[in-house]
A and B are shown apart, each in its own frame.
Chain A
Amino acid sequence: MSSPLELLAELRQSSERRPLETLKLAAPVLNTGAAARAGDDRWLVYEQVFVAAIDDGDMDLAKTVLALLHKQFDGSQRVRRLYGMYNDAAGHPEAAKRLYDEMLAADETNVLASKRLIAQLKAQGHVAEAVGRLVEYVDTHANDFEAWLELAALYLRQHLYPQAAFCLEEVILQQPANHYFHLCYAEINYTMGCLDVALKEYLRVVELSTDNVRGFYGVKLTADRIRELRSRPKKEQPAWIGAAPQPAMLERLAQLATERLVAAYGGAGAAPKRAAEAWLSE
């Protein structure tokens, strides 16, 4: 059994946003004084608890740990950002914006402040402005794949699929072995009707992540649709059809996907299994 401190460290590492769990884990650490014994790690725990408390709406707890952090790191940009987040959460976005602007004026390369400003715009529903700022941001920080991912999500909100695909390509260039990014890219391509690319990317997903259900559903869907397109008259076929796999290969891929999906649902209850089989045998 790992100690709460270790579990908290793991949560920080994976940057998962699970505020309730974080608060539950952190409560004994904060109350029993175990934090003091954690050495320098305790400041990281405080920061983590602060963000979790804000997510949970526990403003009192947030204020307490923020005061601790402020006492230790007076004038730190990282703590100032937390103040901004507190203001955001407490419903004073103007004050927060002023703070972020000040931080940027002091150091225009401050990544935290720029990201917070973009997050503010996004939260207020100014998606177009947020996109503008984020484009500016990735133009400067071209190697921040998380920003590219966020930009892709914003474009998707606006149904700008080619732009989102471009962002995903940047992400894949930087993180080529992450199957989730390939999955997003495949889904965007599927939506745009670029079924040849989508099929290959779905296949890449199931290659990287064995028996990935979403990946295999994609393989099945795309393979069937390409087969259907091939059977249409020449005029209605898209330009890329020549480069797409032959019907025999598509057949085999669809078969493989069906097989693996049925196997994946084998352990599930009767109802989901029946639903899956019904869809697959359509």
Chain B
Amino acid sequence: MGGMANGTDQAMFLDPAIRNWVLFPITVIMVLVGVFRHQLTILMAGEPPKPDAKDVRQGKALMRGQILAQNSAYIPAAALAARKQYLCQAYEDGEYLKNKASKDQGPANLMADPKAMEAMMGGMKSQMMGIVPQTLIMGWIQFFFSGFILIKLPFPLGLRFKQMLQSGITTPNMDVRWVSSLSWYFLNLFGLRGVFALILGSDNSADGTRDMAAMGTMGAAGQQPGQPQDFHKQFLSLKDSLAIIYHEWDLANVEQRVLVKYGKQSRLFKSSAE
């Protein structure tokens, strides 16, 4: 039979009850869980921790050094030299550090600083909130509906989609257009982002995909957002880059530039003093 060969007109009929009691419930529950999570995140987020003056000072001091390194050409050599000397010394002595005494202890102990602790807890809370419901729903679907075929897509697809659309079902000959329940879950997980953006605004925390990414990296010892920066190290490296600045005043040949600009001279000459 030609029909079996190309697999396009496999005669299979789905019970309407599957649509009513499996397809729609999964979708609806996924949306509801997303909305619930969004609200819960808002509820638990609380106030972001306020930096105190010393935090601000530390950060701004770093910024000042960076700006100096970047724009050093715009001030005279003497002005740069004074700043360089002062900032290098201050950075080395940890003058701007929040805890000046602890500069040699390396990265501060996380548990010692209540603010860092709070930030870490916040990150963990939101991660847990993402992972727990998704895991529950996935377990629920696998438990009740494994092996279900839910819908038939209205367009043909290549064989490579078989794994994506029919996970949990091992029927090698079935047309790829049939979608299994577990796959429908995953399609929803990734596809509902637009719906959430529509009903909760673009900055919502209902989206499950971010947590999937978080789950992947959780084991890795990467720079986590809650981890405090080691300012002393940053100051020291900034000090090094300040120390080797090559200063050439932007105004060294400004006389000639002005003469050229006002049409008194055709081009710039090498020597500034002519």
Q: Which residues of A contact B (CB under 8 A)?
A: 107-109, 139-143, 166, 169, 172-174, 176, 197, 200-201, 203-204, 206-207, 210, 243, 245-246, 248-249, 252-253, 256, 260
- The answer to whether A203 and B60 touch across the interface, beta carbons within 8 angstroms, is no
Q: In the complex the two chains form, what is the Cα distance from A109 to B272 in whole Å? A: 47
Q: Which residue of A lies closest to B60 (CB)?
A: A142
- Say yes or no for B254: interface residue by CB 8 A criterion: yes
Report B-chain residues with C-beta under 8 Å of the C-beta of A246: 273-274
- The answer to whether B79 and A256 touch across the interface, beta carbons within 8 angstroms, is no
- Say yes or no for B71: interface residue by CB 8 A criterion: yes
If A107-B50, A143-B63 touch, whether A260 touches B57 (CB-CB below 8 Å) is: no
- The answer to whether B75 and A172 touch across the interface, beta carbons within 8 angstroms, is yes
Q: Which residue of A lies closest to B73 (CB)?
A: A176
Contact of A204 among B53, B64, B72, B254 (CB under 8 A): B254
Which among A140, A141, A166, A246 has the highest number of chain B CB atoms within 10 Å? A140
Q: In the complex the two chains form, what is the Cα distance from A213 to B255 in whole Å? A: 17
Report A-chain residues with C-beta under 8 Å of the C-beta of B259: 252-253, 256
Contact of B258 among A140, A206, A243 (CB under 8 A): A206
- The answer to whether A207 and B258 touch across the interface, beta carbons within 8 angstroms, is yes
A37 nearest CB across to chain B (Å): 24
Contact of A256 among B53, B61, B72, B264 (CB under 8 A): B264
- The answer to whether B273 and A204 touch across the interface, beta carbons within 8 angstroms, is no
If A108-B53, A140-B57 touch, whether A203 touches B258 (CB-CB below 8 Å) is: yes
If A109-B50, A249-B273, A249-B274 touch, whether A142 touches B255 (CB-CB below 8 Å) is: no
A200-B251, A203-B254 given; 11 more Cβ-contact pairs under 8 Å: A109-B52, A140-B57, A140-B60, A174-B67, A203-B255, A207-B258, A207-B261, A245-B272, A249-B255, A253-B258, A253-B259
Q: Which residues of B contact A (CB under 8 A)?
A: 50-53, 56-57, 60-61, 63-64, 67-68, 71-72, 74-76, 79, 83, 249-251, 254-255, 257-259, 261-262, 264, 272-274
- The answer to whether B75 and A245 touch across the interface, beta carbons within 8 angstroms, is no
- The answer to whether A207 and B57 touch across the interface, beta carbons within 8 angstroms, is no
Report A-chain residues with C-beta under 8 Å of the C-beta of B72: 173
Q: Write 10 A-B pairs (CB below 8 A) sorted by A numbering.
A: A140-B56, A140-B57, A141-B57, A142-B57, A142-B64, A173-B72, A176-B250, A204-B254, A207-B254, A252-B259
Q: In the complex the two chains form, what is the Cα distance from A261 to B64 in whole Å? A: 38
- Using a Cβ cutoff of 8 Å, how many contacts connect chains A and B? 84
- The answer to whether B262 and A173 touch across the interface, beta carbons within 8 angstroms, is no
Q: In the complex the two chains form, what is the Cα distance from A88 to B60 in whole Å? A: 30
Report B-chain residues with C-beta under 8 Å of the C-beta of A143: 60, 63-64, 67
A244 nearest CB across to chain B (Å): 8
If A200-B251, A207-B261 touch, whether A139 touches B57 (CB-CB below 8 Å) is: yes
- The answer to whether B53 and A207 touch across the interface, beta carbons within 8 angstroms, is no
Report B-chain residues with C-beta under 8 Å of the C-beta of A169: 75, 79, 83
Q: In the complex the two chains form, what is the Cα distance from A197 to B251 in whole Å? A: 9
Q: In the complex the two chains form, what is the Cα distance from A256 to B262 in whole Å? A: 8
Report B-chain residues with C-beta under 8 Å of the C-beta of A107: 50
Q: Which residue of A lies closest to B51 (CB)?
A: A109
- The answer to whether B57 and A200 touch across the interface, beta carbons within 8 angstroms, is no
A240 nearest CB across to chain B (Å): 10
